[in-house]
Amino acid sequence: MDSDPDKWFWDRVSKHLVQLHSFDDVLYTGRTKFQNVEIIRSQSYGRFLVLDSKIQSSDADEFIYHEALVQPPMILHPGPETVFIAGGGEGATLREVLSHGTVRRAVMVDIDEEVVSICRKMLPEYSRGSFQDPRAEVYHTDAREYLAASTDDSFDVVIIDLPEPIEEGPAYLLYTQEFYRLVQEKLTSNGVISVQSGSASWTELENLCAVACTLRSVFPVVFPYQADVPSFGGPWGFCLASSGLSPLPLSAAEIDARIAARSLGHLRFYDGQTHQAMFNLPKHIRGALADASRLITDDTPLYMYSE
């Protein structure tokens, strides 16, 4: 191991776990109104976008995370036309949404305009021109406030791509039962929501279990799933929820047919076989999810760690 402590970045996987990455350069460091921002060039994964000491994306495997978050709900919906994105500052979630020709309007609301600007300037490969797409609308305000007070529109798909909840951070009130109820009100009758839900490692399931339990208190159909995101330190959890649409009846062949019909030839991670694997969780994780009872509410928010 390199003995120089200044050449190792500590990634906060959770309040109980960190992982170390060796790096070459710190390309950017600063503080916005809402959070600390760094862009670091690592030796293993290329550039990292880091918010409040937590890796959000890496050059090497951002496609895994963003396809896993976006493509299952988009493919599950038979013809998504309107999509709402909470967060997603890199623009990669917007990129994946706009890859669907069915989409005529994608509304992205990220409270931190500075992070979006930094990513557009320093990580343009992530968004790949999606911010300039005429179907995209980008607003810099609180996503909950936007849904509650700034729009009467309904959405076919809602994607929650936020940093994990930390005390005094910008996102902790967007993981609560009250927020999910607001999202449900804004979904069309066969609408789908997906939520990035934290680590799915066996000893770090607190966030995933709490998000799944909270979603189940609002939506009749909730399916947690996982994908291995190496730069995050292992398996990562997501939750898909709806009022009726289930991802389980879709065969691998049907998923592949929908991908082909929508001309999604760019996909490197997600296909029918991967879909089946993501939603077939190991027995020990299924057991933990079945026993989950922690509800996240405005009065009892979940903090993964404090700044």
Q: Which residues are registered as beta bridge partners of 40? A: 26, 48
pTM over 0.75: yes
Q: Which residues participate in catalysis according to the annotation?
A: 161
Third-level CATH fold of 62-306: Rossmann fold (3.40.50)
What pLDDT does residue 12 have?
77
Q: Locate the domains of the chain by residue range.
A: 5-58, 62-306
What pLDDT does residue 1 have?
45
What pLDDT does residue 172 have?
81
pLDDT tens track of the chain, all 307 residues? 455 667 899 887 766 778 899 999 999 999 999 999 999 999 999 999 999 888 999 999 999 999 999 999 999 999 999 999 999 999 999 999 999 999 999 999 999 999 999 999 999 999 999 999 999 999 999 999 999 999 999 999 999 999 876 555 567 889 999 999 999 999 999 999 999 999 998 888 999 999 999 999 999 999 999 999 999 988 999 999 999 999 999 999 999 999 999 999 999 999 999 999 999 999 999 999 999 999 999 998 887 655 4
What pLDDT does residue 3 have?
56
Q: What's the CA dihedral at 272, 277, 279, 282 to 10 degrees?
A: 170
Question: The domain 5-58 belongs to what CATH superfamily?
Answer: Spermidine synthase, tetramerisation domain (2.30.140.10)
Q: Is the backbone of residue 297 left (phi > 0), alpha (psi -120 to 50) or beta?
A: beta
What pLDDT does residue 10 have?
87
d(CA 146, CA 212): 24
The burial class, CB within 10 Å (0-12 / 13-18 / 19+), for 171 is buried
Going by C-alpha positions, the residue among 191, 188, 158 that lies closest to residue 174 is 158
